[in-house]
Amino acid sequence: MSTTSVLGGIVRRREDPALVRGKGRYVDDVKFPGELAVAFVRSPFAHARITSIDTSAAAAMDGVHAVYTIDDVRHLGPVPAQVPIGTLRPLLADGTVHHVGEAVAMVVADDRYVAQDAAELVVVDYDPLPAVVDLEEALRDEVQAHEGKSNVLLTWHGQDWWPGVTDELVDPKPQIEEAKAREDTVVVSLRMTNQRLLPTMIEPRVTVANWNGGYGAFEIWSATQIPHALAGAIGKIFGLPSNKVRVVAPEVGGGFGAKLNIYPEDILCAFASQQLERPVRFVETRREAAVATIQGRGWVGTATLVGTRDGKILGYELEAICDMGAYSHNFTVAIPALGLFVAPGQYDIPTHYELHCVVTNLPTTDAYRGAGRPEAAYYLERIIDHYARTIGMDPAEVRKRNFWPPDAFPVTTSVGLTMDSGDYARNLDALLEWADYEGMKRRRDEARAEGRLVGVGLGTYVEVCGFGPSALAGLGFSWSEYGMPSAFNGSGVVRVNPDGTCTVIIGTGPSGQGHETTWSQIVAEELGIELDAIEVLHGDTAESPFGVGTFGSRSLAVDGTAAFEAASRVRAKAAKIAAHLLEAAPEDIRFADGGAHVAGSPDKAVTWGEIATSAYQPHTLPEGMEGGLEATAVFSPPNATWPFGAHLAMVEVDPDTGNVEILEYWAMDDCGNVVNPMIVAGQIHGGIAQGIGQAMFEHAVYDEDGNLLSAALMDYPMPTAGDLPSFKLNRTTTPTDVNPLGVKGIGEAGTIGSAQTIVNAVVDALAPLGIEHVDMPLRPRAVWEAIQKARG
Amino acid sequence: MKISVTVNGTRYERDVEPRTLLVHFLREDLGLTGTHVGCDTSYCGACTVLVDGRSVKSCTFLAVAADGAEITTVEGLAADGELHPVQEGFWERHGLQCGFCTPGMIMSSVALLEENPSPSEAEIRHALEGNLCRCTGYHNIVLAVQYAAAKLRGEQPPPADWEEVGA
Ligand code: FES
Ligand code: FES
């Protein structure tokens, strides 16, 4: 097998043979003897004082082992958060409930049927309080979501958002105001909603905690994106050393940020297991997921842009209210800041942000695919389109006039962050040419001439991801709340076993991203070893090196690089051993085809098995060399990475029903170098689908009392196969120098690039009617109403 | 209640409670955990199995109602270690990421191709509307079904579009 094509080549996933046979092992597939099940009593009110809880009937039921309330667990403290700004969630409601679905009591029973029946016997009396649901009302702060506490947690300002980072930055606000006051400029403004979403991974949350009093240790199986953080947090909460808590996250059925949190149910299962000395399992129901799992987005704001009549943008402002929900979880208030990081997008424009993070009596918001960056890209790209239409210029042309030029990189944006690399004009031109933008517009105009509502929409984005740099953790993302070092580094172990096979152990916990395949490719390439000889282990804190987790499109750029560096070290040692065995100089050793040979003499060769055997028999090693053939590497990148791209859609709106049909969807993404183009394409497909889901279908809708009206899947229309088109994907390649692989990250890009593309296309279709904006989701009714209104 | 069912070719006689759902019977009594549970409203399709050749959401089907039936789950598709063409298609065309929806998706696709060996893209998309996937955006699932359809017809599967992208 040739190894030179492994990196950058399409390799079928090594995960799949088990998964397509139904042999994948997810948390709920693994049972422990003597397991108990839990069910929760959840609040029907968004805001209410609890006047009494009577658990006696439930506790007396056959098969019930315990019923817990806050009085039993208050001493454990609240659910820890890395950015502990706002009220942290108590493990169970403490005196007052602050959103519908907040857990009030937990029943532990022989099985889930008994637990559920018993939960219904718990009697809770409530004294309802006024609920804060509307974001404007929350900002006015007249009624408080938490009595006696301001609803406004903080306001992220464009220029003083992070102490110490932005000292030399010029405040662009005076510049923007001056541009607005000029007579030759145009000021455009739109108020837009970026609605709340439910992450809706198909595998719900599931955790089973197993305390062994004999060993004084926990074994916890959980569908989590952050196994090490969960182990750290459990250790911290229960006062155990970290090596007494083992967390296993086997196959994880999707996460999208929602499993990047520690939840009260995880901690409560651990507590109950310790109390009852039995394994205790929580499996979230789909309805529970709609109130007890974090949600995404939830912004309403006004974007304002000022520019000249010939397309030069002179300033951009966004003032928005961001819904934090009732309690702060892992990153909650930091999510809007991620939007701020990419506020100016691909453009060299003075940018001013003001994001008010407000508390409401709704479930918590936190990271959901893109996390702050889709919101930012949406506002910016919508207002640029609106500006282009206002000055009568092609939207692609306006964008090109304001891009950072490629020779400006690394470039420090007006919010004080340095972007690694970019070639935006080349990327956009490649898209326009490949998709035949001119032809598309022609076809649109022809359709329009026939009276049809056809539109073409363009959207660009820049993403910040691949977190690192490690120092970012020191700036307020405090993993220490999870009993972990505060860092954003990556780790990997590469071990060549005595038989010449290779075991790679990674610090990330994937949830569908194909790490086993991608990491195998990296290591195979570096060692010249066959893919099939490599096994990648992950998700078990007892065996893997300390790792931060899988989120923020960071795994490949940070942990993948660590695996690459570990492989390089193994290779260097193996070269010395091979040189010794072949009586050659280490510099002359080459690795290929499952072994090593001397450059220029392919038959002077040893296999990896021979090298490894020697490595584990120290007497056969060069004098003074330590035995063994493995290395651990920790990679700490100097910066985050900044992928980018441009998407283009053509849509048709049915004027009689308001139904939107996506006729074509084209995407030109740039995530730097690519290890496996097939996996990258898959990530983009899924990302686009989630962005289209937001643009056209999904909305977590609440009534004024804070009741979720879209809890069941039929009321929360995430896209089905029939709702979506096939996507046309292509790439440009602009590597980064932030890591030696030149890779950036692709997990969230599709989502960050797509919602604005669809809405821009739909608004373009409706523009002949004088419609300037329609808020997402663009369901038929919303579009139909906009058409009716425009037609008067 | 006593029931007798044939699952993936093996006959089982079991005593089940009348309220036991087929999916729990398969997962817990028979240990066939390939069939997944993703919702409680019969909406996601992760639990899809074949009952007498028809695709059924096993989370809304009582085990007692399967008495006397022939059931095929995802574990029963591969014959003599060889993947079923639909399973092969999902692998070849990257039709899965986290894999949680996959067993249900595969079973629905098997049922579709038995009924319609040459489905159009629109027919594939329509047939899979009862199976939700949050990871793939369905693009590669469509390619996977097209791959399997070609294979089952004895034809060469068309290449995937992403195989031809080189920027
Ligand atoms: S688990 Fe059966 S349809 Fe969702
Ligand atoms: S592959 Fe994850 S839900 Fe379909």
For A222-256, write each residue's pLDDT tens digit. 999 999 999 999 999 999 998 999 999 999 999 99
Q: What is the pTM of this model?
A: 0.96
pLDDT value at residue A329:
94
Find residues 188-207 of chain A whose CB sits inside 8 Å of chain B. Answer: 200-204
Q: Is B74 helix (H, G, I), strand (E, B) or coil?
A: helix
Q: Mark out the alpha helices in A511-617 (DSSP H runs).
A: 515-527, 561-582, 608-615
| B48 domain residue, yes or no | yes
Asked if the model's pLDDT at residue A684 lies above 90, the reply is: yes
pLDDT of residue A1: 31
Distance from C-alpha of A481 to C-alpha of A330, rounded to nearest angstrom: 9
Distance CA A654, CA A447 (A): 12
> Shortest CA distance to A699 belongs to which of A155, A300, A254?
A300
Q: What is the pLDDT of residues A513-541, one digit of tens each?
A: 999 999 999 999 999 999 999 999 999 99
ipTM score for this prediction? 0.98
pLDDT at A204 over 60: yes
pLDDT tens, position by position, A341-387 = 999 999 999 999 999 999 999 999 999 999 999 999 999 999 999 99
In a domain, B164, yes or no: no
Q: Is B39 in the pocket of ligand 1 (CB under 6 A)?
A: yes
Chain A nearest C-alpha distance from B68 (Å): 24
Q: For B96, which of A16, A201, A286 is closest by C-beta distance? A: A16
Task: Identify which ligand lies nearest to the alpha carbon of A721.
Answer: 2
Distance in Å, alpha carbon of A762 to nearest chain B alpha carbon: 20
Q: Distances from the Cα of A285 to the Cαs of A32, A296, B8, in angstroms?
A: 20, 19, 28
Chain B: nearest CA to A457, how far in angstroms?
20
Mean residue pLDDT of chain A comes to: 94
Residue B90 lies in a domain: yes
Mean pLDDT across A482-494: 83
Report whether pLDDT(A507) > 90. no
Q: Sorting pLDDT into bands at 50, 70 and 90, what band is A160?
A: low
CA of B58 to the centre of ligand 1 (A): 7
Residues 242-261 (A) with a CB less than 8 A from some CB of B? 251-254, 256
B12 within domain boundaries: yes
- Residue ranges of the domains in chain A? 3-23+489-635, 31-129+202-254+259-292, 296-467+639-791
Residue A281 pairs with which residues in a beta bridge? A37, A208
Query: Greatest CA separation found in chain B?
Result: 62
Rounded to an integer, what distance in angstroms lies between the CA atom of residue A70 and that of residue A267? 13
CA of B35 to the centre of ligand 1 (A): 10
Q: What is the CATH number of the domain that holds B70?
A: 3.10.20.30
Do A669 and A488 contact (CB within 8 A), yes or no?
no
The distance of A153 to chain B (nearest Cα, Å) reads 32
Answer yes or no: is the C-beta of B130 below 6 A from any ligand 1 atom. no
Looking at the fold, whether B70 and B120 belong to one and the same domain comes out as no
Q: Which helix (H) or strand (E) holds A373?
A: helix A373-391
pLDDT digits (tens, 9 = 90+) for A736-780: 999 999 999 999 999 999 999 999 999 999 999 999 999 999 999
**Average pLDDT over every residue of A721-726:** 97
Q: Tell me the CATH number at B139.
A: 1.10.150.120
Specify the pLDDT at position A168: 64
Percentage above 70 pLDDT, chain A: 97
Domain boundary among B25, B41, B76: B76
Mean pLDDT of all residues in A36-46: 98
pLDDT on residue A2: 32
- Residue of A223, A221, A226, A206 lying closest to A550 (CA atoms): A226
Q: Does one domain contain both B37 and B89?
A: no
pLDDT given at position A4 = 40
pLDDT of A3: 34
- At the fourth CATH level, the homologous superfamily of domain A31-129+202-254+259-292 is Aldehyde oxidase/xanthine dehydrogenase, a/b hammerhead (3.90.1170.50)
- A123-127, A428-432, A479-483: lowest mean pLDDT where? A479-483
Cα dist from A351 to A157, A315, A374, A411, A788, whole Å: 10, 6, 17, 15, 36
In a domain, residue B16? The reply is yes
The ligand 1 atom at the shortest distance from the C-alpha of residue B39 is 4
pLDDT at position A319, please?
97
Check A721 against B131: CB less than 8 A apart.
yes
Q: Provide the CATH number for the domain formed by A3-23+489-635 in this structure.
A: 3.30.365.10
pLDDT value at residue A34: 97
Q: How many domains does chain B have?
A: 2
Specify the pLDDT at position A723. Answer: 97
Beta bridge partners of A589: A598
Residue A159 has what pLDDT?
60
| pLDDT value for A165 | 53
State which of B96, B131, B143 you would mutate to test the pocket of ligand 2, scoring each by most atoms of that ligand within 8 A of its C-beta. Answer: B96
Q: Give the rounded percent of residues in chain A with a pLDDT score beyond 90.
A: 88
Answer yes or no: do A254 and B135 touch at CB < 8 A: yes
Question: What tokens does A421 get?
Answer: 């690399």
For residue A583, the tally of other CB atoms under 10 A from its CB is: 8
Q: Is residue B17 part of a domain?
A: yes
Interface contact flag, A23 B100, Cβ < 8 Å: no
User: What pLDDT is attached to residue A476?
Assistant: 59
Confidence of residue A201 (pLDDT cuts 50, 70, 90): very high
Contact A529, A567 (CB under 8 A): no
| Inside any domain, residue B132 | yes
Which pair of structure tokens corresponds to residue A767?
A: 């523009």
Q: Examine domains A3-23+489-635 and A296-467+639-791 and report if their fold is the same.
A: yes
Does residue B58 share a domain with residue B15?
yes
Highest average pLDDT, of A216-220, A415-419, A602-606, comes from A216-220
Q: Rounded distance, CA A80 to CA A71, Å?
A: 18
CB A421 within 8 A of CB A401: no
**From the CB of B132, is ligand 2 less than 6 Å away?**
no
The last residue of one of the domains, among B53, B76, B99, is B76
Residues 103-162 on B with a CB inside 8 Å of A are: 103, 106, 121, 124-126, 128-142, 160-162
Given 3.30.565.10, 3.30.365.10, 3.40.50.170, 3.40.50.200, which CATH number is that of A296-467+639-791? 3.30.365.10
Nearest atom in ligand 1 to the alpha carbon of residue B47 is: 2
The pick from B21, B36, B47, B51 for probing ligand 1's pocket by mutation, whose C-beta has the most ligand atoms within 8 angstroms, reads B47
Structural domain span for residue B13: 2-76
Contact A218, A237 (CB under 8 A): no
Whether residue B135 sits in one domain with residue B90: yes
Which residues of chain B carry a pLDDT beneath 50? 167
β-partners of residue A280 are: A36, A209
* Cβ–Cβ gap B83/A722 under 8 Å: no
Q: Please, what is the end-to-end C-alpha distance for chain B in angstroms? A: 62
The verdict on B137 and B93 lying in the same domain is yes
- Looking from the CA of A469 toward its CB, the CA atoms found within 13 Å total 10
Please identify, among B25, B50, B76, the residue that sits at the C-terminal boundary of a domain: B76
For chain A positions 329-358, those within 8 Å of chain B (CB to CB) are: none
Asked whether A68 and A90 are in contact (CB, 8 A), the reply is no
